[in-house]
Amino acid sequence: MSAFKTAAASRFEAGLAAHVRTYFPNHSKIAGETGTGTLARLALARARSHGIESERGVYLYLNVMLILGSYFDEDPQLP
């Protein structure tokens, strides 16, 4: 079961990275391949820290993160 969970997590992260490349090509170009993967993992971790577990919720969190900034949820200028 552990192997299946790991494979599913890897596929989900790859899907998030592909989403960045498709819908935020400038971000992806600037971040590069490695950075795009890092953005995907960061969004997943930060979404989970807020109790967001659904696939849709994580994708929405990623979108907002890319629009407002990686740590928008801690930014005092964004109440």
pLDDT, tens digit, 9 for 90 and up, residues 17-58: 999 999 999 999 999 999 999 999 999 999 999 999 999 999
Is the pTM higher than 0.85? The answer reads: yes
Q: Which two tokens stand for residue 26?
A: 């400038």
Q: How far is the CA of 47 from the CAs of 8, 29, 30, 43, in angstroms?
A: 17, 23, 23, 6
